[in-house]
Chain A
Amino acid sequence: NAGVTQTPKFQVLKTGQSMTLQCAQDMNHEYMSWYRQDPGMGLRLIHYSVGAGITDQGEVPNGYNVSRSTTEDFPLRLLSAAPSQTSVYFCATKQTSGNNEQFFGPGTRLTVL
C-alpha cells in the first residue's frame, strides 16, 4: 500500500497563476484534509472532506478550493496564487471511527513569487 501520496513535491508559481495539488490515498479512509504548515504556526486546516461529495472549510480556507468526487482523491486548487500562499502543504486522512489518528502525506513545498 502506498498510503497517502502527494504530487508535486515542489512547485514554483508566479502571482496570479493557478494550480492543483494532488492527494491520493489507498487506505479507504472517508476523512481527508489539507493543511498548510508555516514556521512557528504548526499546521492549520484549510479544507476537509468526510466522504465523496462532501467538503467543508477549515481554519484558513480563503484562496483555496477543493472537491471530492471519489474516496481516493482530494485535490486542492489555488485559483489565483498569492505570495501569502507560499507554504508547505500536507494532505492527511483518517478513519471516521476510532481515535482520530491521521496519516500524513510527504508534503508539497509551494513558492509563489
Chain B
Amino acid sequence: AQSVTQLDSHVSVSEGTPVLLRCNYSSSYSPSLFWYVQHPNKGLQLLLKYTSAATLVKGINGFEAEFKKSETSFHLTKPSAHMSDAAEYFCVVTKPGGYNKLIFGAGTRLAVHP
C-alpha cells in the first residue's frame, strides 16, 4: 500500500525568501514520486519527478526536490520565492510501471507576499 502526507496545508513566505514544502511518503515498493503545481483555476502541471535515478531532482521554475529513502521524504524547495509561485502544490507517489495509479497528497497552498 502507498500513501503520501503533505505536512503543511498552508505555507506563507515573503518574495525572495526560500520555499520549503514538505512531503513524506509510505510505499512497500521503490516508488516514483512527483510534484505537481496548480495555479488558480488551472489544471495541474508537472514540476518534477523522481524515478530512481539521481536523488536530487531539478524541475521547472527553479524548484528542486531531494529523495531521502531513510527519511521517506521528498521535500520541494526553491532558493528564492517569486510572486508567480503562489499556487497549490501536490506531492504524488506511485508504483513504477505503466498501469499503476497515482496517489495524491492533500496539497499545500503556497502564498507569497511582497
B99 pairs with A50, CB closer than 8 A: yes
B74 to chain A, nearest CB (A): 15
Q: Which residue on chain A has the smallest CB distance to residue B51?
A: A99
* Contact partner, B42, options A42, A48, A106, Cβ 8 Å: A106
Q: How large is the interface on B (under 10, 10 to 19, 20 to 34, 35 or more residues)?
A: 20 to 34
Chain B residues near A41 (CB-CB < 8 A): 106
State how many residues of chain A have any CB contact under 8 Å with chain B.
Answer: 26
B24 to chain A, nearest CB (A): 14
Q: Which residue on chain B has the smallest CB distance to residue A6?
A: B43
With A58-B101, A90-B43, A101-B49 known as contacts, the answer to whether A43 contacts B90 (CB < 8 A) is: yes
B32 pairs with A100, CB closer than 8 A: yes
Bits for B88-114, please: 1 = Cβ < 8 Å to A, else 0: 001000101111111011110000000
The secondary structure that dominates the B interface is loop
Q: Which residue on chain B has the smallest CB distance to residue A95?
A: B98
Bits for A92-109, please: 1 = Cβ < 8 Å to B, else 0: 100111111110111100
With A40-B9, A41-B106, A42-B90 known as contacts, the answer to whether A101 contacts B46 (CB < 8 A) is: yes
B105 pairs with A42, CB closer than 8 A: yes
Question: Which residues of B line the A interface, CB within 8 A?
Answer: 9, 32, 34, 36, 41-46, 49, 51, 90, 94, 96-102, 104-107
Question: Which residues of A line the B interface, CB within 8 A?
Answer: 4, 31, 35, 40-45, 48, 50, 58, 90, 92, 95-102, 104-107
